[in-house]
Amino acid sequence: GIQVEQSPPDLILQEGANSTLRCNFSDSVNNLQWFHQNPWGQLINLFYIPSGTKQNGRLSATTVATERYSLLYISSSQTTDSGVYFCAVEWGGGFKTIFGAGTRLFVKA
């Protein structure tokens, strides 16, 4: 099956800093999503981005499908950005959605 790897596994930032999270996948995918899981466990949709670049406020994402990776950029981080960031890919003829292990982000005030 497909492998979805996220890096770094853990990240500590000072408020105001920028960061880049990476998602590598081992096979062609039909689509890719980025989620933020808040401290209460809710998965919040950030981007639906099978290819190209999208921006939403301080967040942006880029997926290069031909090279099998996606990047999530967080600029001017805030304490409320803390949580776990997951990428999830839809893969295969059955369109299964597979998650990476996540990047745990803590933003210090």
Residues that bind another protein (CB under 8 A): 30-31, 33, 35, 40-43, 45, 48, 86, 88, 90, 94-102
Token readout for 25 is: 């996948």
**Residue with Cβ nearer another protein (1 or 14):** 1
Smallest gap from Cβ 8 to another protein, in A, equals: 15
CA 13 to chain centre: 16
**Residue with Cβ nearer another protein (34 or 81):** 34
Contact present, 103 and 8 (Cβ < 8 Å):
yes
d(CA 48, CA 37): 15
**Residue with Cβ nearer another protein (57 or 94):** 94
Smallest gap from Cβ 108 to another protein, in A, equals: 21
Smallest gap from Cβ 29 to another protein, in A, equals: 10
Smallest gap from Cβ 107 to another protein, in A, equals: 19
d(CA 31, CA 92): 10
Token readout for 62 is: 């880029």
d(CA 104, CA 84): 4
